[in-house]
Chain A
């Protein structure tokens, strides 16, 4: 559905993307997980034909983006991170006007607009002004707007950022529903829960590169193991303890004020290595651990 090859992007001397290869399969939900400044939004701007890559090629639905930007854009639903609703128009007019950009006939545009407004529980606001909406409502309206052309690929940049938990679950439900209807989704996010619960695969992005790409389960199993052991100790003893762990072939990483130990198969061995057993605790591993593990290592390199 989406294929990116060797995407590089620089603004003057600042390099933002350093060679991205990515493929999104039909019907799949792919998360792009990474911190601010990783290049997620820049990558999305290339895939949605809003900004050209410095080098590299992108195909969407089999079409080369350079030659068929209009045709591709007609089949994409784009939900940007920043609110760019049209404040000069009412809620309903926003959707109707957007539908017109896609050449959707008026009658049908009206029907679809009301449909998506109901879907996101905004139908009672249809005559309201944009300025009168709360942040969460604006976000929902942006997503509703992205669905107006019934896109085959939906691209949502941080779909639930700034939403309260209720609205967040509402959005997640709708995204799952769209997935079950076969809509391919590309989802840049910093929300680990979002990436692991909604997505089939997760691309971990950092400093303009995709460092790993797999299902959440496999990423966790491969990089950190199912459980993480955390050790809380004084920073002075870190190096000594890490030395000991390394001698026993245990991988560890400093995260926040703690030392994380991965892939522990023999917990008795770990207990013996740590002087104060109370400082040791275990929890389920998450994508965040994978992220810290991978990026921690690149920083060290």
Chain B
């Protein structure tokens, strides 16, 4: 495998330049929508939900909202975003004629997706703190946590992007993979409340360990079992990151 080099940072910079130029149009996706969900579910549904330990429902869902919008940011960036640059704008074709190679470009894309996740996670955390929904200093690790989760979901999305024939195929990715995780990975309801089959699927979904970690950081209730979640996330990153580099080289080398 031909590996990526430090030059990936140039691709990352290209994307960040574009973002700094057009960030106003991105605000609804990564700031307003998660807050709407938080308020609607937290106050709306929260009025009917009593938690065992006296925690407010909105506090229960805050870490999950952080984890899942971190997932959404990375996934959108490395599916639609990457596909548009690759297929419609032919941006990659121009760049691989310079000293950057395909792996640099793809690594730059993945780390950019992760950066978007970090921005999203940090924004939601900030707003949640203002509303006194965060009580632990461990939550200061949320930006780094978002970067890690973002790298995982960017890599997964990138592998999918490397094999899709057209932009319409992303409907499958979001409807069958991303959205179910949003509902069944313990964001809104404890996984234990689902039927056996859903429970089993939930345990293997990549969002589940992310929600666990996020919840621990926001509430400050850390325990050793979280190392399993962290380990799983790192394993998934290594697997999907390298697979997406290999698969993208195959797609782009004609």
Residues of A within 8 A of B (CB): 11, 45, 48, 50-52, 69-71, 73-74, 76, 78, 80, 82-89, 93, 97-98, 100-103, 149
Do A73 and B91 touch (CB < 8 A)?
no
Given that A84-B89, A88-B22, A89-B18 are known contacts, is A11 also in contact with B94, CB under 8 Å in the complex?
no
B90 contact set on A, CB distance < 8 A: 82-84
Report the bound CA distance from A149 to B96 in whole Å.
15
Nearest-neighbor residue (CB-CB) of B14 within chain A: A97
B21 CB within 8 Å of chain A: yes
For chain B, residues 18 to 33, give those with C-beta under 8 angstroms from any C-beta of chain A.
18, 21-22
Given that A80-B94, A97-B14 are known contacts, is A70 also in contact with B89, CB under 8 Å in the complex?
no
Residues of B within 8 A of A (CB): 7, 10, 13-14, 17-18, 21-22, 89-91, 93-101, 253-254
B99 contact set on A, CB distance < 8 A: 70-71, 73-74, 101-103
Given that A69-B101, A93-B17, A100-B10 are known contacts, is A50 also in contact with B89, CB under 8 Å in the complex?
no
Do B93 and A84 touch (CB < 8 A)?
yes
Partner of B254, one of A11, A82, A86, A149: A11
Nearest-neighbor residue (CB-CB) of A101 within chain B: B98
Given that A100-B13, A101-B10 are known contacts, is A88 also in contact with B18, CB under 8 Å in the complex?
yes
Do B89 and A98 touch (CB < 8 A)?
no
Report the bound CA distance from A103 to B156 in whole Å.
30
A11 contact set on B, CB distance < 8 A: 254
Q: Count chain B CB atoms within 10 A of each CB in A52, A69, A80, A88 and give the residue with the most.
A: A88
Q: Count chain A CB atoms within 10 A of each CB in B7, B22, B91, B99 and give the residue with the most.
A: B99
Do A101 and B22 touch (CB < 8 A)?
no
Within the complex, the shortest CB–CB distance from B77 to chain A, in Å, comes to 13
Report the bound CA distance from A63 to B127 in whole Å.
56
A78 contact set on B, CB distance < 8 A: 97
Report the bound CA distance from A87 to B17 in whole Å.
13
A48 contact set on B, CB distance < 8 A: 97
Report the bound CA distance from A52 to B14 in whole Å.
26
Within the complex, the shortest CB–CB distance from B26 to chain A, in Å, comes to 12
Do A88 and B21 touch (CB < 8 A)?
yes
Report the bound CA distance from A71 to B98 in whole Å.
9
Do B94 and A85 touch (CB < 8 A)?
yes
Given that A51-B253, A51-B254, A101-B10 are known contacts, is A87 also in contact with B97, CB under 8 Å in the complex?
no
Do B98 and A87 touch (CB < 8 A)?
no
Partner of B96, one of A50, A71, A86: A50
Do A84 and B91 touch (CB < 8 A)?
yes
Report the bound CA distance from A93 to B13 in whole Å.
12
User: Can you list 21 contacts pairing A with B, beta carbon distance less than 8 Å?
Assistant: A48-B97, A70-B101, A80-B93, A80-B97, A84-B89, A84-B90, A84-B91, A84-B94, A88-B89, A88-B91, A89-B17, A89-B21, A93-B17, A98-B94, A100-B10, A101-B7, A101-B10, A101-B95, A101-B99, A102-B98, A103-B99
Within the complex, the shortest CB–CB distance from B203 to chain A, in Å, comes to 40
Within the complex, the shortest CB–CB distance from A131 to chain B, in Å, comes to 11
Nearest-neighbor residue (CB-CB) of B93 within chain A: A84
B93 contact set on A, CB distance < 8 A: 50, 80, 82, 84
B96 contact set on A, CB distance < 8 A: 50
Report the bound CA distance from A88 to B7 in whole Å.
21
B95 contact set on A, CB distance < 8 A: 101
B22 contact set on A, CB distance < 8 A: 88
Q: Count chain A CB atoms within 10 A of each CB in B7, B14, B94, B254 and give the residue with the most.
A: B94
Do A101 and B100 touch (CB < 8 A)?
yes
